[in-house]
Amino acid sequence: MNRVLAILTIDTDNLPANFQEIIKHEQEVVAQWKAEGILEHLFLRQTRNGALLIFEGVEEEAAQKLMETLPLYQLKKSVEYFNLMKQF
């Protein structure tokens, strides 16, 4: 099954005062995706300026629409998408 990798980079220089509330809501959204089986992995970047999300069972266009619903998407500096083929 093919996967879609989304790399989200947020603008850490302009975080809003309610950033911790946004993070809490973000965690709820990705937990729901995991429960639904559309999010295979979530990796946080050590630099704390974003995350890598691996979607499974969805096309790139659907992954883009899902990403736009993330609370942190509003703070994005950039988002990149890559279609992947899992080998093992």
The pLDDT tens digits of the residues spanning 7-16 come to: 999 999 999 9
Confidence tier at 1 by pLDDT (50, 70, 90) = confident
**Residue 73 to residues 32, 51, 80, 88, Cα–Cα distance (Å):** 17, 11, 12, 30
In a domain, 30, yes or no: no
In a domain, 42, yes or no: yes
Instruction: Look up the pTM and report it.
Output: 0.92
**Token pair for 88:** 């093992």
Residue 63 and residue 79 in contact, taking contact as beta carbons nearer than 8 Å? no
In a domain, 21, yes or no: no
In a domain, 25, yes or no: no
Any idea what the CATH number is for the domain that residue 86 is in?
3.30.70.1060
Domain count of the fold of the chain: 1
Range of the domain at 87: 1-12+37-88
The pLDDT tens digits of the residues spanning 25-73 come to: 999 999 999 999 999 999 999 999 999 999 999 999 999 999 999 999 9
Helix spans in 15-73 (H): 19-36, 60-68
Going by C-alpha positions, the residue among 20, 39, 19 that lies closest to residue 29 is: 39
